[in-house]
Structure 1
Protein backbone atom coordinates (compact mmCIF):
# COMPACT_ATOMS: atom_id res chain seq x y z
CA UNK A 1 0.00 0.00 0.00
CA UNK A 2 1.44 3.38 -1.03
CA UNK A 3 0.66 6.79 0.46
CA UNK A 4 1.55 9.56 -2.04
CA UNK A 5 0.93 12.45 0.34
CA UNK A 6 3.88 13.46 2.49
CA UNK A 7 3.11 13.16 6.20
CA UNK A 8 4.69 15.51 8.73
CA UNK A 9 5.78 13.49 11.75
CA UNK A 10 5.18 13.38 14.60
CA UNK A 11 2.61 16.18 14.42
CA UNK A 12 0.68 14.63 11.54
CA UNK A 13 0.56 11.10 12.94
CA UNK A 14 -2.76 9.42 13.60
CA UNK A 15 -3.31 6.04 15.18
CA UNK A 16 -4.76 3.25 13.05
CA UNK A 17 -6.93 0.98 15.15
CA UNK A 18 -5.54 -2.52 15.44
CA UNK A 19 -2.04 -1.85 14.10
CA UNK A 20 -0.58 1.35 15.52
CA UNK A 21 -0.31 2.47 19.13
CA UNK A 22 0.72 5.95 20.21
CA UNK A 23 1.94 7.73 23.34
CA UNK A 24 1.72 11.51 23.47
CA UNK A 25 3.44 14.20 25.51
CA UNK A 26 1.52 17.48 25.77
CA UNK A 27 -0.59 16.42 22.82
CA UNK A 28 2.36 15.61 20.55
CA UNK A 29 3.21 12.04 19.57
CA UNK A 30 6.55 10.95 21.03
CA UNK A 31 6.22 7.20 20.46
CA UNK A 32 4.52 5.15 17.79
CA UNK A 33 4.69 1.36 17.69
CA UNK A 34 3.20 -0.80 14.99
CA UNK A 35 2.59 -4.54 14.70
CA UNK A 36 1.21 -5.50 11.32
CA UNK A 37 1.32 -8.11 8.60
CA UNK A 38 0.86 -5.50 5.89
CA UNK A 39 3.66 -3.64 4.16
CA UNK A 40 3.43 -0.04 2.99
CA UNK A 41 5.45 2.79 1.52
CA UNK A 42 5.29 6.56 1.51
CA UNK A 43 7.05 9.79 2.43
CA UNK A 44 7.41 11.65 5.71
CA UNK A 45 8.97 14.91 6.84
CA UNK A 46 10.72 14.59 10.20
CA UNK A 47 9.83 17.50 12.50
CA UNK A 48 11.78 15.92 15.39
CA UNK A 49 14.74 13.54 15.50
CA UNK A 50 13.66 9.93 14.96
CA UNK A 51 15.07 6.88 16.71
CA UNK A 52 13.70 3.83 14.90
CA UNK A 53 13.79 0.31 16.38
CA UNK A 54 12.85 -2.71 14.25
CA UNK A 55 12.04 -5.87 16.23
CA UNK A 56 10.89 -7.88 13.21
CA UNK A 57 10.52 -7.17 9.52
CA UNK A 58 12.37 -4.68 7.33
CA UNK A 59 12.16 -0.89 7.27
CA UNK A 60 13.94 0.73 4.30
CA UNK A 61 14.48 4.50 4.39
CA UNK A 62 15.82 6.77 1.64
CA UNK A 63 16.85 10.42 1.82
CA UNK A 64 18.85 12.34 -0.76
CA UNK A 65 21.14 9.78 -2.40
CA UNK A 66 21.36 7.57 0.70
CA UNK A 67 19.44 4.43 1.58
CA UNK A 68 19.56 2.06 4.54
CA UNK A 69 17.51 -0.97 5.53
CA UNK A 70 16.85 -1.55 9.23
CA UNK A 71 16.23 -5.21 9.98
CA UNK A 72 15.31 -7.37 12.97
CA UNK A 73 16.83 -6.15 16.27
CA UNK A 74 18.44 -3.10 14.67
CA UNK A 75 18.00 0.64 15.12
CA UNK A 76 18.88 3.86 13.32
CA UNK A 77 18.91 7.55 14.22
CA UNK A 78 17.62 10.11 11.69
CA UNK A 79 17.93 13.84 12.29
CA UNK A 80 15.02 16.22 12.06
CA UNK A 81 14.14 18.45 9.09
CA UNK A 82 14.61 15.63 6.55
CA UNK A 83 12.28 14.21 3.93
CA UNK A 84 12.41 10.43 4.15
CA UNK A 85 10.93 7.91 1.73
CA UNK A 86 10.13 4.63 3.45
CA UNK A 87 9.18 1.11 2.50
CA UNK A 88 8.30 -1.30 5.29
CA UNK A 89 7.46 -4.99 5.07
CA UNK A 90 7.11 -8.08 7.22
CA UNK A 91 9.82 -10.68 7.60
CA UNK A 92 9.74 -13.94 5.65
CA UNK A 93 9.33 -17.00 7.84
CA UNK A 94 7.59 -15.09 10.65
CA UNK A 95 4.12 -14.75 9.11
CA UNK A 96 5.40 -11.56 7.46
CA UNK A 97 5.19 -9.82 10.83
CA UNK A 98 6.31 -6.20 10.97
CA UNK A 99 7.06 -4.80 14.43
CA UNK A 100 8.75 -1.43 14.84
CA UNK A 101 8.99 1.39 17.37
CA UNK A 102 9.50 5.07 16.49
CA UNK A 103 10.66 7.51 19.18
CA UNK A 104 10.42 11.20 18.30
CA UNK A 105 12.97 13.21 20.28
CA UNK A 106 12.74 16.99 20.39
CA UNK A 107 15.67 19.34 20.87
CA UNK A 108 14.08 20.50 24.15
CA UNK A 109 14.08 16.93 25.49
CA UNK A 110 17.73 16.43 24.50
CA UNK A 111 18.64 19.73 26.13
CA UNK A 112 16.89 18.70 29.36
CA UNK A 113 18.61 15.30 29.36
CA UNK A 114 22.04 16.86 28.76
CA UNK A 115 21.47 19.22 31.69
CA UNK A 116 20.27 16.68 34.27
CA UNK A 117 22.74 13.97 33.25
CA UNK A 118 25.69 16.35 32.93
CA UNK A 119 26.42 14.87 29.54
CA UNK A 120 26.86 16.23 26.06
CA UNK A 121 29.09 16.14 23.02
CA UNK A 122 32.80 16.72 23.52
CA UNK A 123 34.43 20.09 23.37
CA UNK A 124 35.63 19.49 19.82
CA UNK A 125 32.79 19.29 17.39
CA UNK A 126 33.19 17.04 14.40
CA UNK A 127 34.09 18.78 11.14
CA UNK A 128 31.15 17.09 9.41
CA UNK A 129 27.97 15.37 10.60
CA UNK A 130 28.41 11.83 11.91
CA UNK A 131 27.29 9.34 9.24
CA UNK A 132 23.94 7.66 9.70
CA UNK A 133 24.53 4.02 10.50
CA UNK A 134 22.60 0.93 11.56
CA UNK A 135 23.20 -0.12 15.17
CA UNK A 136 22.24 -3.35 17.00
CA UNK A 137 19.55 -3.20 19.69
CA UNK A 138 21.17 -4.19 22.98
CA UNK A 139 19.55 -6.46 25.56
CA UNK A 140 19.16 -3.46 27.88
CA UNK A 141 17.24 -1.51 25.25
CA UNK A 142 15.12 -4.58 24.44
CA UNK A 143 14.11 -4.81 28.11
CA UNK A 144 13.29 -1.10 28.07
CA UNK A 145 10.90 -1.59 25.14
CA UNK A 146 9.22 -4.45 27.02
CA UNK A 147 8.74 -2.15 30.02
CA UNK A 148 6.64 0.25 27.94
CA UNK A 149 4.16 -2.36 26.71
CA UNK A 150 1.80 -2.03 29.72
CA UNK A 151 1.25 1.67 29.01
CA UNK A 152 -0.54 0.87 25.76
CA UNK A 153 -3.20 -1.17 27.58
CA UNK A 154 -4.21 1.75 29.80
CA UNK A 155 -7.81 2.88 29.27
CA UNK A 156 -6.98 6.49 30.11
CA UNK A 157 -4.35 8.96 28.94
CA UNK A 158 -0.93 8.51 30.51
CA UNK A 159 0.28 11.42 32.64
CA UNK A 160 2.71 13.70 30.77
CA UNK A 161 5.28 13.48 33.56
CA UNK A 162 5.33 9.68 33.30
CA UNK A 163 5.72 9.80 29.51
CA UNK A 164 8.66 12.21 29.83
CA UNK A 165 10.20 9.99 32.51
CA UNK A 166 10.09 7.01 30.13
CA UNK A 167 11.72 9.07 27.37
CA UNK A 168 14.51 10.15 29.71
CA UNK A 169 14.89 6.51 30.77
CA UNK A 170 15.39 5.66 27.09
CA UNK A 171 18.16 8.25 26.80
CA UNK A 172 19.89 6.96 29.93
CA UNK A 173 19.67 3.42 28.57
CA UNK A 174 21.01 4.54 25.22
CA UNK A 175 23.92 6.33 26.88
CA UNK A 176 24.85 3.14 28.74
CA UNK A 177 24.33 0.78 25.79
CA UNK A 178 25.69 2.82 22.87
CA UNK A 179 27.78 5.84 23.81
CA UNK A 180 28.66 6.59 20.17
CA UNK A 181 25.01 6.86 19.15
CA UNK A 182 24.18 8.93 22.23
CA UNK A 183 26.97 11.39 21.42
CA UNK A 184 25.67 11.60 17.87
CA UNK A 185 22.16 12.25 19.18
CA UNK A 186 23.26 15.04 21.50
CA UNK A 187 25.22 16.68 18.69
CA UNK A 188 22.03 16.95 16.67
CA UNK A 189 20.84 19.75 18.94
CA UNK A 190 23.39 21.98 17.26
CA UNK A 191 24.35 21.94 13.58
CA UNK A 192 28.01 20.94 13.31
CA UNK A 193 29.01 23.23 10.46
CA UNK A 194 27.73 25.97 8.20
CA UNK A 195 26.34 24.71 4.91
CA UNK A 196 25.53 26.51 1.68
CA UNK A 197 22.21 28.32 1.97
CA UNK A 198 21.64 27.88 -1.76
CA UNK A 199 22.14 24.11 -1.55
CA UNK A 200 19.89 23.76 1.50
CA UNK A 201 17.08 25.84 0.02
CA UNK A 202 17.20 24.18 -3.41
CA UNK A 203 17.12 20.72 -1.82
CA UNK A 204 14.10 21.60 0.33
CA UNK A 205 12.16 23.97 -1.92
CA UNK A 206 9.25 21.53 -2.29
CA UNK A 207 9.32 20.08 1.24
CA UNK A 208 7.37 21.33 4.29
CA UNK A 209 10.60 22.65 5.88
CA UNK A 210 10.03 25.83 7.89
CA UNK A 211 12.51 28.72 7.99
CA UNK A 212 13.64 27.42 11.39
CA UNK A 213 14.29 24.01 9.80
CA UNK A 214 16.30 25.56 6.96
CA UNK A 215 18.31 27.61 9.44
CA UNK A 216 19.07 24.45 11.44
CA UNK A 217 20.14 22.54 8.33
CA UNK A 218 22.40 25.39 7.24
CA UNK A 219 24.12 25.59 10.63
CA UNK A 220 22.82 29.06 11.49
CA UNK A 221 20.52 30.73 13.96
CA UNK A 222 17.22 31.87 12.45
CA UNK A 223 18.27 35.52 12.49
CA UNK A 224 21.62 34.73 10.85
CA UNK A 225 19.90 32.60 8.22
CA UNK A 226 17.51 35.42 7.32
CA UNK A 227 20.36 37.94 7.15
CA UNK A 228 22.63 35.72 5.04
CA UNK A 229 19.73 34.71 2.79
CA UNK A 230 18.87 38.34 2.07
CA UNK A 231 22.51 39.10 1.28
CA UNK A 232 22.45 36.37 -1.40
CA UNK A 233 18.99 36.83 -2.93
CA UNK A 234 18.10 40.45 -2.07
CA UNK A 235 14.72 39.19 -0.91
CA UNK A 236 13.33 37.81 2.38
CA UNK A 237 13.40 33.98 2.41
CA UNK A 238 9.65 33.53 2.84
CA UNK A 239 8.91 35.72 -0.17
CA UNK A 240 11.57 34.07 -2.35
CA UNK A 241 10.55 30.51 -1.43
CA UNK A 242 6.88 31.25 -2.07
CA UNK A 243 7.74 32.64 -5.51
CA UNK A 244 9.77 29.54 -6.40
CA UNK A 245 6.91 27.29 -5.30
CA UNK A 246 4.42 29.27 -7.39
CA UNK A 247 6.76 28.96 -10.39
CA UNK A 248 6.92 25.20 -9.82
CA UNK A 249 3.12 25.03 -9.67
CA UNK A 250 2.86 27.00 -12.94
CA UNK A 251 5.21 24.56 -14.61
CA UNK A 252 3.21 21.55 -13.43
CA UNK A 253 -0.11 23.12 -14.43
CA UNK A 254 1.21 23.89 -17.90
CA UNK A 255 3.00 20.63 -18.66
CA UNK A 256 1.21 17.87 -16.71
CA UNK A 257 -2.32 16.58 -16.22
CA UNK A 258 -1.90 16.21 -12.47
CA UNK A 259 -4.93 17.25 -10.38
CA UNK A 260 -4.62 20.64 -8.69
CA UNK A 261 -4.47 19.00 -5.25
CA UNK A 262 -1.48 16.87 -6.28
CA UNK A 263 0.25 19.93 -7.75
CA UNK A 264 -0.30 21.76 -4.46
CA UNK A 265 1.64 19.12 -2.53
CA UNK A 266 4.25 18.58 -5.28
CA UNK A 267 5.10 22.29 -5.27
CA UNK A 268 5.66 22.35 -1.51
CA UNK A 269 2.34 23.73 -0.29
CA UNK A 270 0.46 21.93 2.48
CA UNK A 271 -3.10 23.18 2.11
CA UNK A 272 -4.98 23.22 -1.23
CA UNK A 273 -7.21 26.15 -0.23
CA UNK A 274 -4.20 28.21 0.89
CA UNK A 275 -2.36 27.25 -2.31
CA UNK A 276 -5.26 28.39 -4.51
CA UNK A 277 -5.52 31.69 -2.66
CA UNK A 278 -1.77 32.41 -2.87
CA UNK A 279 -1.64 31.34 -6.52
CA UNK A 280 -4.45 33.71 -7.46
CA UNK A 281 -2.84 36.59 -5.56
CA UNK A 282 0.36 36.04 -7.54
CA UNK A 283 -1.03 35.33 -11.03
CA UNK A 284 -4.54 36.74 -11.07
CA UNK A 285 -5.87 33.28 -11.91
CA UNK A 286 -7.03 30.30 -9.94
CA UNK A 287 -4.91 27.20 -10.65
CA UNK A 288 -7.68 25.69 -12.80
CA UNK A 289 -8.19 28.93 -14.75
CA UNK A 290 -4.44 29.28 -15.27
CA UNK A 291 -4.28 25.78 -16.79
CA UNK A 292 -7.24 26.55 -19.06
CA UNK A 293 -5.63 29.82 -20.16
CA UNK A 294 -2.36 28.04 -21.03
CA UNK A 295 -4.21 25.33 -22.95
CA UNK A 296 -6.23 27.88 -24.94
CA UNK A 297 -3.00 29.43 -26.25
CA UNK A 298 -1.62 26.12 -27.53
Structure 2
Protein backbone atom coordinates (compact mmCIF):
# COMPACT_ATOMS: atom_id res chain seq x y z
CA UNK A 1 0.00 0.00 0.00
CA UNK A 2 1.28 3.46 -0.84
CA UNK A 3 0.22 6.34 1.34
CA UNK A 4 0.71 9.46 -0.75
CA UNK A 5 -0.38 12.24 1.53
CA UNK A 6 -1.89 12.98 4.92
CA UNK A 7 -1.76 16.71 5.66
CA UNK A 8 -2.75 18.03 9.07
CA UNK A 9 -3.08 21.77 9.61
CA UNK A 10 -3.31 22.54 13.35
CA UNK A 11 -5.42 19.39 13.84
CA UNK A 12 -8.31 21.34 12.27
CA UNK A 13 -7.98 20.62 8.54
CA UNK A 14 -6.84 17.11 7.68
CA UNK A 15 -6.58 15.71 4.15
CA UNK A 16 -6.00 12.03 3.32
CA UNK A 17 -4.92 10.87 -0.13
CA UNK A 18 -4.31 7.16 -0.81
CA UNK A 19 -3.65 5.12 -3.95
CA UNK A 20 -4.59 1.82 -2.28
CA UNK A 21 -7.23 0.68 0.21
CA UNK A 22 -6.71 1.59 3.86
CA UNK A 23 -8.52 0.49 7.02
CA UNK A 24 -8.28 2.03 10.47
CA UNK A 25 -10.09 2.17 13.78
CA UNK A 26 -10.82 5.81 14.48
CA UNK A 27 -11.71 7.44 17.81
CA UNK A 28 -12.86 11.03 17.52
CA UNK A 29 -11.49 13.23 20.28
CA UNK A 30 -13.31 16.16 18.65
CA UNK A 31 -16.52 16.62 16.67
CA UNK A 32 -15.61 15.92 13.04
CA UNK A 33 -17.04 16.80 9.64
CA UNK A 34 -15.68 14.62 6.80
CA UNK A 35 -16.14 15.25 3.07
CA UNK A 36 -15.28 12.73 0.36
CA UNK A 37 -13.60 14.14 -2.73
CA UNK A 38 -12.96 10.83 -4.51
CA UNK A 39 -12.91 7.09 -3.86
CA UNK A 40 -15.24 5.47 -1.33
CA UNK A 41 -15.45 5.52 2.46
CA UNK A 42 -17.19 2.81 4.46
CA UNK A 43 -17.89 3.75 8.09
CA UNK A 44 -18.85 1.02 10.55
CA UNK A 45 -20.48 2.39 13.70
CA UNK A 46 -21.91 -0.04 16.29
CA UNK A 47 -22.15 -2.73 13.62
CA UNK A 48 -23.96 -0.52 11.10
CA UNK A 49 -22.21 0.21 7.80
CA UNK A 50 -22.55 3.54 5.98
CA UNK A 51 -21.05 4.26 2.56
CA UNK A 52 -19.86 7.73 1.56
CA UNK A 53 -19.21 8.46 -2.12
CA UNK A 54 -17.73 11.57 -3.79
CA UNK A 55 -19.66 14.66 -2.71
CA UNK A 56 -20.83 12.87 0.45
CA UNK A 57 -20.40 14.43 3.87
CA UNK A 58 -20.89 13.09 7.40
CA UNK A 59 -20.73 14.41 10.96
CA UNK A 60 -19.02 12.15 13.52
CA UNK A 61 -19.74 13.00 17.15
CA UNK A 62 -16.74 13.11 19.43
CA UNK A 63 -15.76 10.35 21.87
CA UNK A 64 -16.97 7.49 19.68
CA UNK A 65 -14.90 4.78 18.00
CA UNK A 66 -15.63 3.82 14.39
CA UNK A 67 -14.00 1.60 11.76
CA UNK A 68 -13.09 3.48 8.58
CA UNK A 69 -12.37 1.65 5.32
CA UNK A 70 -10.95 3.98 2.67
CA UNK A 71 -11.13 2.56 -0.84
CA UNK A 72 -9.81 3.38 -4.28
CA UNK A 73 -12.64 3.13 -6.87
CA UNK A 74 -12.06 2.36 -10.54
CA UNK A 75 -8.44 3.45 -10.28
CA UNK A 76 -9.28 6.84 -8.76
CA UNK A 77 -7.40 7.49 -5.47
CA UNK A 78 -9.17 7.91 -2.15
CA UNK A 79 -9.24 11.59 -1.19
CA UNK A 80 -11.06 13.09 1.79
CA UNK A 81 -10.96 16.33 3.75
CA UNK A 82 -11.79 16.55 7.45
CA UNK A 83 -12.77 19.59 9.52
CA UNK A 84 -12.50 19.28 13.31
CA UNK A 85 -14.17 21.44 15.94
CA UNK A 86 -12.13 21.68 19.12
CA UNK A 87 -13.67 22.55 22.48
CA UNK A 88 -11.99 25.95 22.71
CA UNK A 89 -13.49 27.07 19.41
CA UNK A 90 -16.94 25.71 20.29
CA UNK A 91 -16.96 27.44 23.69
CA UNK A 92 -15.96 30.77 22.15
CA UNK A 93 -18.55 30.41 19.40
CA UNK A 94 -21.27 29.48 21.87
CA UNK A 95 -20.48 32.46 24.10
CA UNK A 96 -20.88 34.77 21.09
CA UNK A 97 -24.37 33.52 20.23
CA UNK A 98 -27.43 35.55 21.11
CA UNK A 99 -29.12 33.32 23.66
CA UNK A 100 -32.56 33.91 22.11
CA UNK A 101 -31.25 32.35 18.89
CA UNK A 102 -30.54 29.00 20.57
CA UNK A 103 -33.38 26.46 20.16
CA UNK A 104 -34.49 25.49 23.66
CA UNK A 105 -36.10 22.28 22.43
CA UNK A 106 -32.89 20.93 20.87
CA UNK A 107 -32.14 17.39 22.02
CA UNK A 108 -28.79 15.66 21.76
CA UNK A 109 -29.08 12.74 19.37
CA UNK A 110 -27.90 9.33 20.49
CA UNK A 111 -26.51 8.79 16.99
CA UNK A 112 -22.74 9.10 16.75
CA UNK A 113 -22.86 9.41 12.93
CA UNK A 114 -25.03 11.79 10.90
CA UNK A 115 -24.92 11.71 7.09
CA UNK A 116 -25.61 15.09 5.48
CA UNK A 117 -27.42 15.50 2.14
CA UNK A 118 -25.03 14.77 -0.75
CA UNK A 119 -23.81 17.53 -3.08
CA UNK A 120 -25.41 20.34 -1.10
CA UNK A 121 -24.11 23.68 -2.45
CA UNK A 122 -22.96 25.09 0.92
CA UNK A 123 -21.10 21.88 1.77
CA UNK A 124 -19.44 21.65 -1.64
CA UNK A 125 -18.49 25.34 -1.53
CA UNK A 126 -16.91 24.99 1.92
CA UNK A 127 -14.69 22.03 1.11
CA UNK A 128 -13.79 23.14 -2.41
CA UNK A 129 -12.47 26.37 -0.86
CA UNK A 130 -10.28 24.29 1.47
CA UNK A 131 -8.79 21.97 -1.18
CA UNK A 132 -6.38 24.52 -2.73
CA UNK A 133 -4.44 24.75 0.55
CA UNK A 134 -3.64 21.04 0.39
CA UNK A 135 -2.96 21.05 -3.34
CA UNK A 136 -0.46 23.90 -2.97
CA UNK A 137 0.97 22.70 0.35
CA UNK A 138 0.49 26.16 1.86
CA UNK A 139 -0.72 26.37 5.44
CA UNK A 140 -3.82 28.53 5.97
CA UNK A 141 -3.64 31.38 8.46
CA UNK A 142 -5.34 31.16 11.85
CA UNK A 143 -7.96 33.60 10.58
CA UNK A 144 -8.78 31.28 7.66
CA UNK A 145 -8.95 28.28 9.99
CA UNK A 146 -11.45 30.12 12.19
CA UNK A 147 -13.49 31.20 9.17
CA UNK A 148 -13.74 27.69 7.75
CA UNK A 149 -14.61 26.20 11.15
CA UNK A 150 -17.40 28.77 11.44
CA UNK A 151 -18.66 27.87 7.96
CA UNK A 152 -18.62 24.22 8.99
CA UNK A 153 -20.75 25.02 12.05
CA UNK A 154 -23.25 26.86 9.85
CA UNK A 155 -23.48 23.77 7.65
CA UNK A 156 -24.26 21.56 10.64
CA UNK A 157 -26.63 23.91 12.46
CA UNK A 158 -28.57 24.55 9.24
CA UNK A 159 -28.90 20.80 8.74
CA UNK A 160 -30.53 19.95 12.06
CA UNK A 161 -31.26 22.27 15.01
CA UNK A 162 -30.74 19.34 17.37
CA UNK A 163 -27.05 19.50 16.51
CA UNK A 164 -26.88 22.55 18.79
CA UNK A 165 -27.21 20.08 21.66
CA UNK A 166 -24.47 17.78 20.32
CA UNK A 167 -21.97 20.47 19.40
CA UNK A 168 -22.38 22.55 22.56
CA UNK A 169 -22.86 19.67 25.01
CA UNK A 170 -20.48 21.25 27.55
CA UNK A 171 -23.33 23.48 28.71
CA UNK A 172 -25.64 22.42 31.54
CA UNK A 173 -28.86 21.96 29.55
CA UNK A 174 -27.07 19.53 27.23
CA UNK A 175 -24.60 18.02 29.66
CA UNK A 176 -24.01 14.42 28.60
CA UNK A 177 -25.91 11.83 30.63
CA UNK A 178 -23.33 10.09 32.80
CA UNK A 179 -24.78 6.58 32.91
CA UNK A 180 -25.51 6.63 29.19
CA UNK A 181 -21.92 7.67 28.51
CA UNK A 182 -20.51 5.04 30.89
CA UNK A 183 -22.62 2.28 29.35
CA UNK A 184 -21.33 3.23 25.90
CA UNK A 185 -17.67 3.46 26.95
CA UNK A 186 -17.05 1.13 29.92
CA UNK A 187 -14.88 -1.19 27.79
CA UNK A 188 -12.40 1.59 26.90
CA UNK A 189 -9.41 2.68 28.99
CA UNK A 190 -10.38 6.18 30.14
CA UNK A 191 -8.92 8.19 32.98
CA UNK A 192 -11.18 10.12 35.37
CA UNK A 193 -10.02 13.32 33.71
CA UNK A 194 -11.01 12.00 30.26
CA UNK A 195 -14.42 10.86 31.50
CA UNK A 196 -15.02 14.30 32.98
CA UNK A 197 -13.95 16.09 29.80
CA UNK A 198 -15.94 13.79 27.50
CA UNK A 199 -19.12 14.38 29.50
CA UNK A 200 -18.73 18.15 29.51
CA UNK A 201 -17.66 18.54 33.15
CA UNK A 202 -14.76 19.55 35.29
CA UNK A 203 -13.24 16.69 37.31
CA UNK A 204 -14.87 17.97 40.52
CA UNK A 205 -18.24 18.34 38.80
CA UNK A 206 -17.95 14.86 37.32
CA UNK A 207 -17.30 13.27 40.73
CA UNK A 208 -20.12 15.24 42.32
CA UNK A 209 -22.63 14.38 39.59
CA UNK A 210 -21.62 10.73 39.58
CA UNK A 211 -22.44 10.42 43.27
CA UNK A 212 -26.00 11.45 42.41
CA UNK A 213 -26.50 8.52 40.03
CA UNK A 214 -24.45 5.70 41.58
CA UNK A 215 -23.40 4.41 44.98
CA UNK A 216 -20.14 3.21 43.43
CA UNK A 217 -17.17 5.43 42.54
CA UNK A 218 -16.68 5.72 38.73
CA UNK A 219 -13.78 3.25 38.41
CA UNK A 220 -15.53 0.63 40.56
CA UNK A 221 -18.70 1.19 38.51
CA UNK A 222 -16.73 0.44 35.35
CA UNK A 223 -15.28 -2.80 36.78
CA UNK A 224 -18.75 -3.88 37.92
CA UNK A 225 -20.24 -3.07 34.51
CA UNK A 226 -17.48 -5.02 32.74
CA UNK A 227 -18.15 -8.01 34.95
CA UNK A 228 -21.87 -7.88 34.25
CA UNK A 229 -21.18 -7.74 30.51
CA UNK A 230 -18.69 -10.62 30.81
CA UNK A 231 -21.17 -12.78 32.71
CA UNK A 232 -23.80 -12.17 30.05
CA UNK A 233 -21.42 -13.06 27.20
CA UNK A 234 -20.20 -16.22 28.94
CA UNK A 235 -23.76 -17.23 29.74
CA UNK A 236 -24.71 -16.88 26.08
CA UNK A 237 -21.81 -19.12 25.08
CA UNK A 238 -20.86 -16.95 22.10
CA UNK A 239 -17.18 -16.46 22.99
CA UNK A 240 -14.40 -18.12 24.98
CA UNK A 241 -13.24 -16.77 28.34
CA UNK A 242 -10.09 -15.09 27.01
CA UNK A 243 -11.97 -13.29 24.25
CA UNK A 244 -14.63 -12.14 26.73
CA UNK A 245 -11.98 -10.81 29.10
CA UNK A 246 -10.49 -8.47 26.50
CA UNK A 247 -13.78 -7.67 24.80
CA UNK A 248 -15.26 -6.10 27.93
CA UNK A 249 -12.13 -4.08 28.66
CA UNK A 250 -9.93 -6.11 31.03
CA UNK A 251 -6.25 -6.24 30.12
CA UNK A 252 -5.19 -9.17 32.29
CA UNK A 253 -6.85 -12.60 32.33
CA UNK A 254 -5.81 -13.54 35.86
CA UNK A 255 -7.09 -10.24 37.26
CA UNK A 256 -10.35 -10.73 35.38
CA UNK A 257 -10.78 -14.22 36.84
CA UNK A 258 -10.02 -12.94 40.35
CA UNK A 259 -12.53 -10.07 40.36
CA UNK A 260 -15.13 -12.22 38.56
CA UNK A 261 -14.93 -14.84 41.32
CA UNK A 262 -15.15 -12.12 43.99
CA UNK A 263 -18.40 -10.84 42.47
CA UNK A 264 -20.11 -14.07 41.43
CA UNK A 265 -18.56 -16.62 43.80
CA UNK A 266 -17.32 -18.78 40.93
CA UNK A 267 -14.66 -18.76 38.26
CA UNK A 268 -15.66 -17.63 34.75
CA UNK A 269 -15.19 -21.21 33.55
CA UNK A 270 -17.84 -22.41 36.02
CA UNK A 271 -20.64 -20.33 34.49
CA UNK A 272 -23.13 -22.52 32.67
CA UNK A 273 -24.48 -21.56 29.26
CA UNK A 274 -28.02 -20.20 29.53
Equivalent in the alignment of 2:87: 107
- Residue 129 of structure 1: which of 100, 105, 108 is its match? 108
- Residue 167 of structure 1: which of 122, 135, 145 is its match? 145
Equivalent in the alignment of 1:180: 158
Shift of 1:107: 0.8
Equivalent in the alignment of 1:36: 18
User: What TM-score comes out, normalization by structure 1 length?
Assistant: 0.63
- Residue 129 of structure 2: which of 143, 155, 167 is its match? 143
- Structure-2 change in CA distance of 1:205 and 1:178 (3 Å): closer
- Structure-2 change in CA distance of 1:143 and 1:17 (3 Å): same
Q: How many residues align?
A: 253
Aligned Cα root-mean-square deviation (Å): 4.4
Q: Deviations over 1:174-227 (max 9, x none)?
A: 356665159766651325546654333222211345545655676766544433
Equivalent in the alignment of 1:48: 30
- Residue 241 of structure 1: which of 222, 232, 247 is its match? 222
Gaps of 5+ in 1: 1-15, 153-157, 270-274, 285-292
Where does 1:1-298 land on structure 2 (aligned, <5 Å)?
A: 18-23=3-8, 25=10, 29-64=11-46, 67-92=49-74, 95-114=75-94, 118-119=96-97, 122-129=101-108, 132-135=114-117, 136=120, 137-151=123-137, 164-174=142-152, 180-181=158-159, 187=165, 188-190=167-169, 193=174, 197-211=178-192, 214=195, 222-245=203-226, 263-264=245-246, 266-268=247-249, 275-276=251-252, 280=255, 283=258
CA distance in structure 2 between the partners assigned to 1:144 and 1:86 by the alignment: 22
CA distance in structure 1 between the partners assigned to 2:52 and 2:127 by the alignment: 16
Check the 8 A contact 1:20/1:32 in 2, yes or no.
no
- Structure-2 change in CA distance of 1:104 and 1:209 (3 Å): farther
CA distance in structure 1 between the partners assigned to 2:94 and 2:174 by the alignment: 21
Shift of 1:30: 3.5
User: What TM-score comes out, normalization by structure 2 length?
Assistant: 0.68
Shift of 1:236: 0.9
- Structure-2 change in CA distance of 1:246 and 1:280 (3 Å): same
Gaps of 5+ in 2: 260-266
Q: Secondary structure at the match of 1:207?
A: coil
Check the 8 A contact 1:61/1:84 in 2, yes or no.
yes
Q: Secondary structure at the match of 2:220?
A: helix
